[in-house]
Structure 1
């Protein structure tokens, strides 16, 4: 009886996850306290970070919230951090959580307009290379004014719409809820579906990288950008111009990489849209146009107006991003006739699991701070010569962002740089140059792994990823050429172009240096 009960408990533990995965997590949970108490809290902290990254890498085996949450709870219990510090980290990142909860849900109510626009784009551009460039460039442009997570949420909604249209035809299902079930799909249609999945994977990766290319350019592109801009005392225009010597060459080279990948069909790119799928999407578009009533057209116009409000409100930073997302929900539901609580609730199903996962991640961030895991790196960088500091800040920010979170890394490093300025270790000009190196370092090399970019992690853990077979490893491989080129071009710009370009802009009055008392306020 006891053996049967034990087996039942083991089977229930993490459900259908592989036995080796369950055993690995149990080993983690047993080893961590031993290392913390018997070896070193510092070593235990880095071990926890590595284990958490492992749970992210195995996201398709088990959603990381569960194993990552168990690791975080254990870390609090054994004293790696405290519940109060976790609460502080959550409070400090409340804007990011509000963004996920409300903005992603707001986009849900604009799916009709987005699907219409991107369907026209997909059917109108026959060249896969041109289409990929359009997706990458559009994502970069939107991310410069919207948050990268918002842009990725839009593209995920569109890709799910495309996938659902063909899958229903191929599988003879009537509901989108059956998109995971391929049992009724014939061999020929399965081959077409696999090619379509490859096509969507490449578009999603081009778009995801585009959010990083554009997100580095403005103070609203990524959450850490706003923190860095406030620390340096820069306004929107100052921030844009300060980043331009690095961000513009990287953007151009990123688009060139996009073109080359599609032309050479390397690293999982190059898949074409199957003709059968194109025919089905065109048929769907025609049928949808015929069935569109006056009420539907009014709803599309309302969504377009709301889209303009969204861009303007975010570009001018009229409120926190999450609160703007809440206004989108209110406007979209009010003008679209959605009044049922359950219908509104569906909009939150995509974002809330990731919101919970990110909250667990903040617990890991609290461990990183309490155990001072980054302290040796920061001390080493600040001891280097002023010119070498720029490249070292850029590289270490990129390395740590690719294994950690770019918001956290950017915040830690800009605070350390500001502290060095206040203590007289670096002068004001050097501090401003370091701010550029920190911002570009956290945004560009971090595309190397899904956990480096919140938008990538959101894509990996979305409902779309398992449908198009987009795993952690596949994302790393597909992002590799982008990561190499963006990192190297960014490093060369920081090393050789940043100082002369900044001096030229200061000389001609393009940018101004704020008074020292404005730094950090």
Structure 2
């Protein structure tokens, strides 16, 4: 690599260390790193702000912004408290049952929506459930982010990297269901068992609070039935727009921001109050992170790593699939998996062209998807849903540290990848 490439890598590593050690706020670290990348000319404004390969992913930013505004309106109807009471009553106030229910709902919804939208919708319910039951919400929020990344792996629309892979490889929604959904179900079951151990300290409830919750009437939580009906219609249309993206060609970001605009027009709420609900810190952190990772793509650092993968295995199916899976998991734990997959897709395409056996049944593409989607669980910067959950927690006075996330994320990612290795080898090699 060139000296400027090594400089970009060094800068990224420095920023990552600051985020991990929390010596300065993660937003300050990300934006400061982005400023240095731009200031020293590693990337120009064209690459940082306008390039789809190396710039800020504005589709992700506006998808987040739109859904944050939508959630802000819906929150004021009282429906999240209704769902919180209802779900806790279904679980009879028992913490592990509550965790299982929230994990299954999150994973299932993430297979139909993108995982960022799902955690934005489920997190407020979780906070209310935990408040009612006197539970620490942090482990529950982390479990939901992990579950959203697992569930989102199963479908084309569930995780943004899958959309990139499908576009590059010409794969369909059905292809993802046939090849990834079966192993995702196995991993989800294993995660529920692992969660019993990982989150055991948080799964101790107060029987008195549980009894009091069972006596509540959740219907009384709804404070604005008219706004709830309007919000329900708009949200349903947004979800339909997400599901029909391939047919309509309309990006989820456009659907979300248009839906937010319509809902703001239909609601009696003041726009300035809704804007105050937006997680601006999360959006700014994403922008800085995208510029930093985009610099690594621009100088060829990620592509150099990909070439090492190709040269190491010599095109042998079993070793290449295994190395692609593990390397993607490790790298996606360090950098956000969206720009990583964007940088890696052309390399995978080249490998499939050079070694046709790797492309049989899309084998190498599935290794990339599983590694990137599931490896992102390891750290709080590895996947978009993780960053969003940390931002929601911070806004509600809850601190999730980098090290705390590792405690839950690394075992989950390791377990997931360990299950995927024999699956890939037995099915494709």
Q: CA deviation at 1:72?
A: 2.0
2:31 corresponds in structure 1 to 69
Offset at residue 497 of structure 1 (A): 3.0
- Any unmatched runs of 5+ in structure 1? 1-35, 167-191, 500-521
Give the secondary structure class of the aligned counterpart of 1:452. coil
Query: 1:446 and 1:397 mapped to 2: Cα distance?
Result: 9
Which residue is equivalent to 1:362? 290
Q: 1:420, 1:223 → 2: CA distance?
A: 22
Cross-structure match for 2:70: 106
Structure 1 residue 463: Cα displacement: 4.5
Distance, in Å, in 1 between the alignment partners of 2:110 and 2:157 is 8
Tell me, in whole angstroms, the C-alpha distance in 2 between the residues paired with 1:358 and 1:345: 18
- Provide the residue aligned with 1:122 in structure 2: 88
**Structure 1: how far apart are the matches of 2:265 and 2:5?**
52
Tell me by how many angstroms 1:369 deviates: 1.8
Match of 1:305 in 2: 233
Kindly indicate whether residue 365 of structure 2 is the aligned counterpart of residue 399 of structure 1: no
Matched, 1:218 2:182: no
For 1:306 and 1:160, locate their aligned partners in 2 and report how far apart those are by CA, in whole Å.
24
Q: CA deviation at 1:474?
A: 0.9
Which of 246, 249, 261 is residue 186 of structure 2 equivalent to? 249
Is the 8 Å Cα contact of residues 352 and 358 (structure 2) preserved in structure 1?
A: yes
What does residue 359 of structure 2 align with? 429
Please point out which of 106, 111, 116 is paired with 1:139: 106
Look up the match of 2:144.
207
CA shift, 1:42, in A, is 3.9
User: Alignment partner of 2:301: what SS?
Assistant: coil
Deviations 1:196-217 (A, max 9, x none): 32xx122112211110111101
Paired residues of 1:56 and 1:451 also in contact (CA < 8 A): no
Tell me how many residue pairs correspond in the alignment.
418
CA distance in structure 2 between the aligned counterparts of 1:386 and 1:358, rounded to whole angstroms: 35
Alpha-carbon distance in 2 for matches of 1:464, 1:159: 14
Task: Give 1:156's match in structure 2, choosing from 123, 126, 139.
Answer: 123
Query: Which of 274, 278, 282 is matched with 2:206 structurally?
Result: 274
Q: CA deviation at 1:99?
A: 0.7
Distance 1:379 1:341 in 2: 49
Distance 1:334 1:43 in 2: 50
SS at match of 1:450: coil
TM-score (norm 2): 0.87
Q: Which residue of 263, 281, 296 maps to 1:353?
A: 281
Per the alignment, residue 5 of structure 1 pairs with none
Q: CA deviation at 1:465?
A: 6.8
Question: Of 58, 72, 92, which residue of structure 2 is paired with 1:94?
Answer: 58
The 3-state SS of whatever aligns with 1:451 is: coil
- State the partner residue of 1:82: 44
Within the alignment, does 1:477 sit opposite 2:407 as a pair?
A: yes
Q: Is the 8 A contact 1:246 1:498 kept in 2?
A: no
Q: What's the CA shift for 1:483?
A: 1.9
Counterpart Cα distance in 2 of 1:220 and 1:240: 11
Bigger Rg over Cα: 1
Q: Which runs of 5+ in 2 are unaligned?
A: none
> 2: CA distance between counterparts of 1:337 and 1:155?
24
Moved more, 440-449 or 352-361: 352-361
In structure 1, how many angstroms separate the alpha carbons of the residues matched to 2:257 and 2:212?
A: 35
**8 A contact 2:82–2:222 mirrored in 1:** no
